[in-house]
Structure 1
Amino acid sequence: MEARGQHGTNVHPGNSPAGRLAAVGNQMIEIHLWLSAELARLRAGLDTSGDARASRDLRAHCLTFCAALGRHHSGEDAGAFRLLANQVPELRPVIANLITDHEVVAGILERVEALLAGDPALPLAQVRAELDGLAALLESHFRYEEKRLVSALNALTGQPGTTEELLGLTAPPT
């Protein structure tokens, strides 16, 4: 199944010929949109986590989200950023800034995971504060990354590899 963009255009083919990359920058945008939507759902879930079951579900959703975001950023660092730094050296300062952001995000994720692993009574105010900070940082980070890297990533089309190897995740079906 092919994902379609806002105007019905092909954003990324479901299967690239011979495992070659196609529209990686567009796929990065889709991953960012999905991660942002999941974070919004997670933050909204804080308002409905009054009972123990909701709290368990919230913890599970939060840990799943944290793992996906961590995979995405570590995948970018080891995959797309390394490839771009080699092929487009003028992007190295941008990539260094993005890697610094990834380290800050990783610190927030570690704090969230520590809060979730602690007291059985979920510390909602602390979790909310961390997730609110994360949301603000990611909004800025994602826009900067997209503005600076999408064209360069899309130029990788036709090279061997997979989106997951470069971005840590594949774009979820729409």
Structure 2
Amino acid sequence: MDDLRTGLGRRQLRDDTLAAHCLAFCDALTTHHEGEDDGMFAQLLRERPDLADTVTKLEQDHGLIASILTQVRQLADRALEARGPDLETIGRELDGLAAIMESHFRYEERSIGEALDAEGDDTEWADTVLRFGEQVRPGL
């Protein structure tokens, strides 16, 4: 995202390049959050129901981030349709997204990390939640 914001600020990216980067970034972040919401968080709550408030907060953040990503996608789509992006508007959206993501990731690392670290050396639950040791098959 930093590369996108820097290129946008310096007007170094062509509209189609900017749009392609924005759309790829939006898709990757959306996929990541959907994976957490539907997979990792669900399993984490089965193993650690005491983290329900933390997971709820993180899922709310995901909703806010998804809303901003929708705005960025719409602006990027306009660039691809040759109507030209409003660079100032895209920049504000990316700045807001960066601030929320920074806060979100810090909270996620701190709250879940502290809870997991408190478990001591017993990592059996982490292996279940994070699926360590599972054979990952290509294409999955």
Interval of TM-score (by shorter of Structure 1 and Structure 2)? 0.7 to 0.9
User: 5+ residue gaps in structure 2?
Assistant: 134-140
User: 5+ residue gaps in structure 1?
Assistant: 1-38, 164-174
SS at match of 1:158: helix
Structure-2-length-normalised TM-score: 0.78
Higher RCO (C-alpha 8 Å, min separation 6)? 1
Corresponding residue for residue 125 of structure 1:
88
Q: Partner letter of residue 147 of structure 1?
A: R
Check conservation: 1:101, 1:141, Cα contact below 8 A: yes
Q: Rg larger in 1 or in 2?
A: 2
Q: State the identity %.
A: 38
Check conservation: 1:49, 1:58, Cα contact below 8 A: no
Corresponding residue for residue 158 of structure 1:
127
Question: Shift of residue 115 of structure 1?
Answer: 1.2
Corresponding residue for residue 64 of structure 1:
24
Report how many residues are paired: 123
Corresponding residue for residue 148 of structure 1:
111
Residues 41 and 162 (structure 1), Cα distance of their counterparts in 2 relative to 1, 3 Å cut: farther
Decide which structure has greater helix share: 2
Corresponding residue for residue 10 of structure 2:
48
Q: Segments of 4+ in structure 1 off by > 6 A?
A: none
Mapping for residues 1-174 of structure 1, pairs under 5 Å:
39-49=1-11, 54-118=14-78, 120-150=83-113, 152=116, 155=123, 156-159=125-128, 161=131
Distance 1:129 1:157 in 2: 38
Q: CA RMSD in A?
A: 2.3
